[in-house]
Structure 1
Amino acid sequence: MTSETVTAAAAGTWKLGDLEVNRLGFGTMRLTGNGVRGNSDGAPIDRSRAIAILRRAVELGVNHIDTASFYFSPLRSANELINSALAPYPDDLVIVTKVGPGRDPSGEWQGMARPEQLRGQVEENLRQLGRDHLDVVNLRRNGVDSIADHFGALADLRDAGLIRHLGISSVRPEHLAEAQAIAPVVCVQNYYGLDRRASDADGLVDGCGEQGIAFVPYFAISGNRLEASAADTHDDEVLAIARAHGATPAQVRLAWTLHRGPHVLAIPGTSNPDHLVENITAGELRLSPDELARLQLLGSEQSVN
């Protein structure tokens, strides 16, 4: 595949509420140098390089950036990098953040916030990003059985004008129904990829499409390696299809993700400028029905806690 003149628009568009985004976006977690669970993704990259990657992503048509105030390492904060690189923000840029889990300044996890603590998390994102409102806020479920009280608190903040649209993350189908009974849901962000799909995941993906809700998978490339870099080894089917298209295995995984439906978005993150271009180029990779069927058989079942 050639990367010449390919932009994120090649993957098509979808709307998060009334906000239209290119389906191929950018996740910022890797720019901090460490995974949020403490898994190392190598030494933190140079700050100027991280800023350059963000600016290059926008130059290449990315207008959907995923972040969180808890994406930070001892040396890097994703929100601060976004603010430094992109403010004043382009009119079409949609920044999606998430709240729920909390970390103290040393990076230690504090568990799921109480509903009344979510306003503080929202305001911290506002402060770090330099915004007067947040485009989309995902409630990241962290082990709780019911999200009603937490989602209701975010709905109140939306009514107050601090948030434009709401989404949910790390959820099962029943949580989507629970949230929709309170306020509109514009996106579901779950762990999902070619080789990591929960037993009910495909049904949730399809159900979101039927309701016009965006489905936004994370770890679509790294799969079972989570925050770590993607593996160097790949299934033979992935390798064969990549060779047939002159593509990389990572591009095949992203293309499969986007082929799951027009409502499926992708937010691959990277700290490598070359990989950024490769990821965006994957938006123009078209897989045949036979190739998609072969890839669909590769998934392994995992549960969403």
Structure 2
Amino acid sequence: MSSTARGALAGRTVSRVGYGAMQLERLHGDRAAAVALLRRAVELGVDHVDTAQFYGNGFVNGVIRDVLRSAEDLLIATKVGADPDPGGPIPLRLAQRPEELRASVEDNLRALGLDRIPLVNLRRADRRPGVLAEGAQLVGLDDQLAVLTALRDEGKIGAIGLSAVTLDVLRRALPAGIACVQNAYSLVGRDDEDLLELCLAEGIAWVPFFPLGGDFPGLPKVTDEPAVRAAAQALGHTPAQIGLAWLLHRAPNVHLIPGTASAAHLEANLAVADIELDDETLAALDAIPARSMDVSLG
């Protein structure tokens, strides 16, 4: 991986293409294969892994724990704001209250076998795409940041991030010290240009989820765009690689966490760190119209 494809995240310099571990739950029936895939990612230069305790109801964090025994320098980022709910209509439930956030951090610490999690992202639930909070799960930002700041002061987490937030929420959170923002963002879903620009100005990492659009109804797909397909054919890459490479070119604070359960796709994802897009190609991609990501996923 090119030495130029590195950037700052939670006080460390890491490869700008990490690994989103959610897809490891697809290998639930073959734990050895899941461990082997993550170890392969580390061998290929991955030093930033994004996870959550609700991925596979703890299965994914268990796999990461196995790999951490021989790769202790991994920057592990997890998220709180939801807990596993295997019997529910979707396999998670919101857990936004301060006591739930603390319990979730403790659950992650135990599952990962860590004394300190380098980065914990607060997954808010006040905007789409995703489930919106209601009732007792409508919790004020200040109360949530207070418990996360306390956990940071206690040494249980290293840095605080935010996920699925608005520009106003990010601005209000800045005094707490925010290390990264995870929002839905892609070539075809650029609702949050203003947040990205604020993050760039404040030295905050931008870690997009749905980096290629999405497979959910109503979400556009980067790989369906004729300009993306044309660029892929001209440069000898896949449309997915072009979409990910565009994100790396968009701003130097962008970090990617593409996920896969396939070793071949893993190698293809990591290869985007070395893809160069010329000005003409970037202009053609930038001209693709963006669509809204304001879609309910359940």
Q: How would you bin the TM-score normalised by the shorter chain?
A: 0.7 to 0.9
Q: Partners in 1 of 2:248 and 2:216 — Cα distance?
A: 19
Q: How does 1:121-200 map to 2 (within 5 A)?
A: 121-143=104-126, 144=138, 146-181=140-175, 183-198=176-191
Q: Which residue of 1 aligns with 2:211?
A: 220
TM-score after normalising by structure 2: 0.87
**Post-superposition shift, 1:232?**
10
Q: Partners in 1 of 2:102 and 2:39 — Cα distance?
A: 30
1:243 aligns with 2:243: no
How many pairs are equivalent?
A: 280
Change (3 A) 1:145 1:300: farther
Letter in 1 for 2:188: D
**Post-superposition shift, 1:44?**
4.7
1:24 is paired with a residue whose SS is coil
Q: Which residue of 2 aligns with 1:79?
A: 61
Q: Map Cα deviations across residues 177-212 of structure 1 (whole Å, 9 max, x no partner).
A: 12113x1001001111112222xx112112211111
Which stretch of structure 1 is more off in the superposition, 113-122 or 278-287?
113-122
Q: Which residue of 2 aligns with 1:96?
A: 77
The answer to whether the Cα contact below 8 Å between 1:31 and 1:270 also exists between their aligned partners in 2 is yes
Letter in 1 for 2:60: A
The answer to whether the Cα contact below 8 Å between 1:67 and 1:79 also exists between their aligned partners in 2 is yes
Q: Which residue of 1 aligns with 2:129?
A: none
Letter in 2 for 1:196: G
Q: Partners in 2 of 1:293 and 1:246 — Cα distance?
A: 18
1:206 aligns with 2:197: yes
Q: Which residue of 2 aligns with 1:282?
A: 272
Q: Map Cα deviations across residues 35-86 of structure 1 (whole Å, 9 max, x no partner).
A: xxxxxxxx7563222111100111111100000001115xx71101111233
Among 291, 294, 297, which residue is 1:303 paired with?
Answer: 294
1:292 aligns with 2:282: yes
Among 89, 92, 95, which residue is 1:112 paired with?
Answer: 95
Q: Which residue of 1 aligns with 2:39?
A: 55
The answer to whether the Cα contact below 8 Å between 2:53 and 2:84 also exists between their aligned partners in 1 is no
Change (3 A) 1:22 1:233: closer
Q: Partners in 2 of 1:184 and 1:232 — Cα distance?
A: 33
Q: Partners in 2 of 1:257 and 1:169 — Cα distance?
A: 18
Change (3 A) 1:291 1:141: same
1:97 is paired with a residue whose SS is strand
**Post-superposition shift, 1:165?**
0.6
Change (3 A) 1:11 1:245: farther
List gaps (5 residues or longer) in structure 1. Answer: 1-6, 34-42
Which of structure 1's runs of 4+ aligned residues deviate more than 4 A? 230-233
Q: Partners in 1 of 2:20 and 2:292 — Cα distance?
A: 24
Q: Partners in 2 of 1:17 and 1:249 — Cα distance?
A: 30
Letter in 1 for 2:62: E
Which stretch of structure 1 is more off in the superposition, 189-198 or 161-170?
189-198
The answer to whether the Cα contact below 8 Å between 1:166 and 1:186 also exists between their aligned partners in 2 is yes
The answer to whether the Cα contact below 8 Å between 1:196 and 1:224 also exists between their aligned partners in 2 is no
TM-score after normalising by structure 1: 0.85
Q: Partners in 1 of 2:215 and 2:59 — Cα distance?
A: 22
